[in-house]
Structure 1
Amino acid sequence: MSDRKPYKSDLSDERWALIEPVISAWKADHPSPTGHQGRYEMREIVNAILYQGRTGCQWDYLPHDLPPKSAVYYYFAAWRDDVTDVKINDLLRWQVREKAGRSEDPSLVVIDTQSVHAAVNVPATTTGKDAAKKVAGRKRGVAVDVLGLVIAVTVLAASDHDNAFGTALLGQVAPIDSIKKALVDQGFKKTVVEYGAMVGIDVEIVERNPADKGTGFVPQAKRWIVEQTLGILMLFRRLVRDYESRPKSSESRVRWAMIDVIARRLTGQTTPTWRG
């Protein structure tokens, strides 16, 4: 670890110890042809990714005492493309579940979507308008367990119907044998239920209680947890608006945000709010 003044987003020794084995294994599997070990510590690369996720700064505005854009983006893109970010998220998720006395993978997932505006640099070909929420940009869909931990994530244009997200997310979680049921809201239709039946997952569309109409937001049993997770993601300014050129980068940002959240949960360290 460098002797620079730490940022609030920096990994503590305890949180780095949770992530380091995966990163070190990756580094060992990707040796430089020249034998050079690289100029920057892997911990500092991860610190830079987390800093950008929390602050939302542009690549060129990374602080000078963190590794430069060229190095940080190289690893961010590499770990996105070879799903190293998925491996880290899954490893930490399993540990949280074990700590809670649960099996490694869940039997039930809760699925929902969140529309966010897109920045001006985002290609128009990957954006659209969510007519219901009047949001022009992208929509992220997540499947979480009952602890609010992200099992799967997909990002598409905001104009895409929730059915597209439902089938994509069910396709991602279907290989997990333990998952037998999924809860979705009324935005998802029969298409998702039928696709779930094809992949062996019982999809239940949770109807709102008519008596709740006009009373504002009323949490629904079990389904509220996905709303909480989507709210937690808003602590990460890089996710408040979609800045990524590629939807796959947007998905990776969600995973890195959850890696930060889960690592803090495992070590009993809190996630600072914007005002904190």
Structure 2
Amino acid sequence: MSMRKPYPSDVTDEQWELVGPVIAAWKARHPSVSGHQGKYAMREIVNAILHQNRTGCQWEFLPHDMPPPGPVKYYFYLWRDEGTDQDIHDLLRWQLREKRKRLADPSLVVLDTRSVHAAVGVPATTTGRDAAKRVPGRKRCLAVDVLGLVIHCVVLPASAHDNTAGIALLDGVAEQCDTVTKALVDQGFKNKVVEHGQNHGIDVEIVERNPDDRGFVPQVKRWIAEQTNGILMFCRRLVRDYEHRPASSRSRVLWAMTSVMSRRLTGTTLTSWKTA
């Protein structure tokens, strides 16, 4: 850790003990041909990624006392493409579930989608318009467990139907967790998703809204997906989709949840930008 004054988004020593070993193992698998260990500490690279996630700043606006944009970009994209961000995320998810006296992998998931506006400059070929919600941009699709932890994430054009999102999520869940036997979805998902779930041995239940309810009424168990989406909104980089590639948008979700889970595991908090 450098001698600079820490930012609220920085990982603490306890949090780095959770994340650091994965990064160290990755580093050991990628030795420099010249034997050079790199100019910037891996912990500072992670701090820069988390800082950008939380504050929403552009690459060129990273603070001067952090590594410059070039190396931070390099590692962000490399870890995205090699799945290192997923490895860190999954390890913390398993640890947090076990800390909550649950098995490492869940038996039930909740599927949900949220359409977010795309920033100017995001390629039109990867975006669309959600006609129902009148949102031009991308659709962030999540499968979460009963603790609100992300099991799988898919990013699609906002014009994609919820059936497309549901099928992609079920495929990802089945690939990662062979323990899942049930999925809860809202009425935006149709029978096509139910039928696809049967192919994976997953019972998909469409949770219908009580017609007598007025306004927002949380649905039992399904509300946890809404809570996770709300937590992600504390990261300004996720309030709008700024990424040119959907894979980068997905990586942002993984890093956001990594920050959340590392804090829960170590009992630390981070002030919300909505509070004074």
TM-score, scaled relative to structure 2: 0.98
Cα distance in 1 between the residues matched to 2:19 and 2:172: 23
8 Å Cα contact 2:129/2:137 also seen in 1: yes
Paired residue secondary structure (1:211): coil
Q: Give every structure 1 segment of 4 or more consecutive aligned residues whose post-TM-superposition deviation is greater than 2 Å.
A: none
Paired residue secondary structure (1:109): strand
Q: What corresponds to 1:109 in structure 2? A: 109
Q: What corresponds to 1:24 in structure 2? A: 24
8 Å Cα contact 2:118/2:138 also seen in 1: yes
Cα distance in 2 between the residues matched to 1:153 and 1:167: 12
| Alignment map for 1:18-97 (pairs within 5 Å) | 18-97=18-97
Cα distance in 2 between the residues matched to 1:80 and 1:169: 19
Structure 2: state its 5+ residue gaps.
Answer: none
Cα distance in 2 between the residues matched to 1:228 and 1:270: 17
Kindly indicate whether residue 173 of structure 2 is the aligned counterpart of residue 173 of structure 1.
Answer: yes
Q: What corresponds to 1:268 in structure 2? A: 267
Q: What corresponds to 1:252 in structure 2? A: 251
Structure 1: state its 5+ residue gaps.
Answer: none
Q: CA deviation at 1:155?
A: 0.3
Q: CA deviation at 1:271?
A: 2.7
What do residues 208-228 of structure 1 show as CA deviations (whole Å, max 9, x unaligned)?
01111xx21100000000000
8 Å Cα contact 1:261/1:271 also seen in 2: no
Cα distance in 2 between the residues matched to 1:216 and 1:5: 46
Cα distance in 1 between the residues matched to 2:114 and 2:152: 14
Paired residue secondary structure (1:71): helix
Kindly report the root-mean-square deviation, in angstroms, between the aligned alpha carbons of the 2 structures. Answer: 0.7
Paired residue secondary structure (1:152): strand
Q: CA deviation at 1:202?
A: 0.8
Paired residue secondary structure (1:116): strand
Q: What corresponds to 1:195 in structure 2? A: 196
Q: CA deviation at 1:33?
A: 1.2
Amino acid at match of 2:23: I
Q: CA deviation at 1:19?
A: 0.2
Q: What corresponds to 1:211 in structure 2? A: 212
What do residues 106-152 of structure 1 show as CA deviations (whole Å, max 9, x unaligned)?
00000000111000110000001101111000010000000000000
Cα distance in 2 between the residues matched to 1:82 and 1:179: 25
Cα distance in 1 between the residues matched to 2:54 and 2:82: 23
8 Å Cα contact 2:185/2:205 also seen in 1: yes
Cα distance in 2 between the residues matched to 1:272 and 1:174: 36
8 Å Cα contact 1:154/1:168 also seen in 2: yes
Q: What corresponds to 1:241 in structure 2? A: 240
8 Å Cα contact 2:8/2:270 also seen in 1: no
Amino acid at match of 2:199: M
Paired residue secondary structure (1:63): coil
TM-score, scaled relative to structure 1: 0.98
Q: What corresponds to 2:223 in structure 1? A: 224
Amino acid at match of 2:197: G
Q: What corresponds to 1:138 in structure 2? A: 138
Matched length:
274
